[in-house]
Amino acid sequence: MIEKETTKLGVIMENLNNQQLATDNFDLAKLRLSQDFASKIGVKKALITVPVRKPTRQEFVRVHPDETFRLNTAVLEIKEERETYLVEPSLWGELPGEVVPKCLFTAINRQGVVFLWAVKLPGEDGRQDEWNRSALEAAQMAMKRWVRVSANMSLGAYEVYEASADLPEPEWSEADFQKLIDVAFKDRYITSFDHPIVKRLRGEF
């Protein structure tokens, strides 16, 4: 009985030694994940969310320099809910005081999150307050370098800070601007007076 137990123990120890020898042959350099791991195994990130927002005061951002990645249009903003809606052009004249002319810039932060930055355009008289003038200037600066935008209430305008380090160029999404707009406004496009937002603004419910 003792002899059988000793034999079993010997087999177990031999298997453990063989396993140790096998792991000693692992090439750790080959097993280590690389930065482009996702592309090597054929993984492609799906674009399902494109926020419409201002840059936060703590993030550095860039703006796409290509003119085809921006749009001058009229939007309707529900500030209480922090939501922005695209509006069918035929309705612009029917919603005075509600639709606002804005430029939708394609922006990206250091974490690679792409978003649409809506900046108010000058009025028909060409006038623009300091908040919107400084925001537009910040967006133009961000086409060439990383910037951080911070509201200064005492100044009544945005302050713009350039990154002091030599940061790498942004890696833009492969999606074109049409795709970005489709995703950003997939549930927020007003095409008629029957839209719940329009009915709310007209006091119909």
How many CB atoms neighbour CB 71 within 10 A? 18
Q: How far is 202 from 26, CA to CA, in rounded Å?
A: 70
Whole-structure pTM value: 0.76
pLDDT tens-digit series, residues 20-68: 555 566 777 777 777 666 566 666 678 899 999 999 999 999 999 999 9
Report pLDDT for 66: 97
Q: How far is 205 from 73, CA to CA, in rounded Å?
A: 28
Q: How far is 196 from 187, CA to CA, in rounded Å?
A: 12
Q: Which residues contact 142 (CB under 8 A, 6 or more apart)?
A: 61, 62, 63, 107
Give the HSE-up count for residue 4: Cα atoms under 13 Å, Cβ half-sphere: 1
Report pLDDT for 2: 52
Report pLDDT for 203: 83
Q: How far is 25 from 19, CA to CA, in rounded Å?
A: 10
Q: How far is 191 from 197, CA to CA, in rounded Å?
A: 11
* Main-chain dihedrals φ then ψ at residue 87, nearest 5 degrees: -125, 135
Question: Which structure tokens are listed for 117?
Answer: 């930055």
Q: How far is 106 from 68, CA to CA, in rounded Å?
A: 10
Q: How far is 55 from 148, CA to CA, in rounded Å?
A: 8
Q: How far is 101 from 136, CA to CA, in rounded Å?
A: 13
Amino acid sitting at position 137: E
* Domain positions in the chain: 2-40, 60-201
Q: Which residues contact 34 (CB under 8 A, 6 or more apart)?
A: 40
Report pLDDT for 32: 77
Rounded mean pLDDT for each run of 10 residues along the chain, 205 residues in total: 57 61 65 66 78 96 98 94 94 90 97 96 84 96 97 96 94 95 96 92 80
Q: Are 114 and 108 in contact (CB under 8 A)?
A: yes
Report pLDDT for 138: 97
Report pLDDT for 172: 95
Report pLDDT for 45: 74
